[in-house]
Structure 1
Amino acid sequence: MGFLGCLGAIYEVRCLLGLYFTCLLLILLAQIAAGALIYFQKEVLNVEMSKIVSKVLDNYPGNNSTTEQAWDFIQKNMECCGWDGRQDWSGNMVIINSSRLLFPCTCQNASLTSGNISDSGFCEALTPDWPVYDVGCAATVESWLLTNIGVVLGICLAVALIELLGMILSICLCRNIRNEDYTKVPKY
């Protein structure tokens, strides 16, 4: 899309500048619509996120896929376990079908254990009481968002202003391009 704007500006092609403006406008409108939906549909979003995370946890085989890495990163860095709590892992097929006492390694509470903590997969517990964080990731993610809401809104506002500036400049350039008669210009 930036290529359209560059070509339109360099070669003074009004059609490309108009297309660039239209693309920026559509992206800005989509971002505004997404923000409004997130704000007004918080409860629906929470329910859908719970369903998605529940599927991820139930089908987590521990073989380090991209989805698993993302979830492991959240659990380890946010110091949480499951979406609503550690009980969310009770539906995981690997844990259910294992003869050993397994728990997700990234849930492991570092203050309750000694030694190295694995970044993914399952660890074996010595007792039925897992040495994991009790708080769910929904609460910690929400807390993080509320703590950093100013930064998140600032970034969103900066992106919107840059898009708006690009739209204004493309329209100004488009209006200032004149159809000139190049037959009178001397050739070199």
Structure 2
Amino acid sequence: MRACGPSLIKYVLFAFNVLFALSGLGILVAGAIVLADVNEFNHFVEGRVLAPPIVLIVTGLVIFLIASLGCFGAIKESPTLLLTYAVLLAIIFIVELAVGIAASVFKKDLEGMLKNSLQESIKRSNSEDSIAWDNVQRKLMCCGVDTPADWRALSLNKTLPASCCQPQFIDAAVGHCTESPALGKDKYFQEGCVGKLKERIDKNAVILIGVGIGIAFIQILGIVLACYLASAIRYARQAN
């Protein structure tokens, strides 16, 4: 590759960094989509659940800026800029690895955390909790923590909210299920919300992990390529 000279090499790195910049924008968009989805239920989730997509958004922006530096370093044929670019990529890679490890550890406690948060919310049953519960139960088609019976056991008024009703059975005049037992399986959602929330978060986690792994491989390639090209440029200059 050295025989080709730095003029060809810089175009190789420039093209690589254009693709890398686009991948940075891609990871930013993926993080934003996941954050928007999880944020719908932020009343019940801890900040640790929101942290990975936020880190992904910041990482995507940083990758875009670093890729711009790589393009500039390739055009200028500057070994110093190329090595700086490689070091910054390595730092971002380490940060992503640390976030991934932290997310894996947190995932083990996710269901317990969600269950505790949902139970405490039912016990409080204030207006903010009621709004949050109506949102999650209607969108995820679930009722209670594990079963609808949680509302009878834990809530202050011992009754199921209207959001537990399946839409087709809601009487528009009263805004609730009618002619049904309190825990009637015919008209109320029977699945608990803790499982549905965990499933939603796990699905988003798969997206983040997939995008993260893809970007990590690109970063490793970028680090190797930048170091090699910096060495090739120095070698070519010394030969001249």
TM-score, normalised on structure 2? 0.50
Identity %: 16
Tell me if the contact between 1:82 and 1:88 (Cα under 8 Å) persists in the aligned partners: yes
What residue number does 1:92 align with? 155
Residues 11 and 139 (structure 1 numbering): CA distance in 2 closer, same or farther, change over 3 Å?
Answer: closer
What residue number does 1:46 align with? 111
Letter of the 1:165 partner, please give it: I
Structure 1 segment 101-116 matched on structure 2, within 5 A: 103-115=160-172
Q: Which has the higher helix share?
A: 2
- 1:6 paired residue among 67, 70, 74: 67
What residue number does 1:58 align with? 123
Q: Which moved more, 1:51-60 or 1:29-38?
A: 29-38
Structure 2 unaligned spans of 5+: 1-61, 74-80, 235-240
Deviation at 1:7, TM superposition (A): 4.2
CA distance in 1 between partners of 2:174 and 2:222 (Å): 53
Deviation at 1:162, TM superposition (A): 2.2
Deviation at 1:79, TM superposition (A): 1.8
Q: Secondary structure at the match of 1:27?
A: helix
Residues 174 and 80 (structure 1 numbering): CA distance in 2 closer, same or farther, change over 3 Å?
Answer: same
CA distance in 2 between partners of 1:47 and 1:80 (Å): 18
CA distance in 1 between partners of 2:128 and 2:210 (Å): 39
TM-score, normalised on structure 1? 0.60
User: CA RMSD for the aligned pairs?
Assistant: 3.9
CA distance in 2 between partners of 1:134 and 1:140 (Å): 12
Tell me if the contact between 1:84 and 1:137 (Cα under 8 Å) persists in the aligned partners: yes
Structure 1 segment 98-177 matched on structure 2, within 5 A: 103-115=160-172, 129=182, 132-141=188-197, 153=206, 156-177=209-230
Tell me if the contact between 2:89 and 2:223 (Cα under 8 Å) persists in the aligned partners: yes
Deviation at 1:81, TM superposition (A): 0.5
Tell me if the contact between 1:86 and 1:136 (Cα under 8 Å) persists in the aligned partners: yes
Q: Secondary structure at the match of 1:177?
A: helix
CA distance in 1 between partners of 2:172 and 2:214 (Å): 49
Letter of the 1:167 partner, please give it: I
What residue number does 1:17 align with? 86
Deviation at 1:128, TM superposition (A): 7.5
Deviation at 1:64, TM superposition (A): 7.8
CA distance in 1 between partners of 2:68 and 2:192 (Å): 50
Q: How many residues align?
A: 159
Structure 1 segment 71-90 matched on structure 2, within 5 A: 71-90=133-152
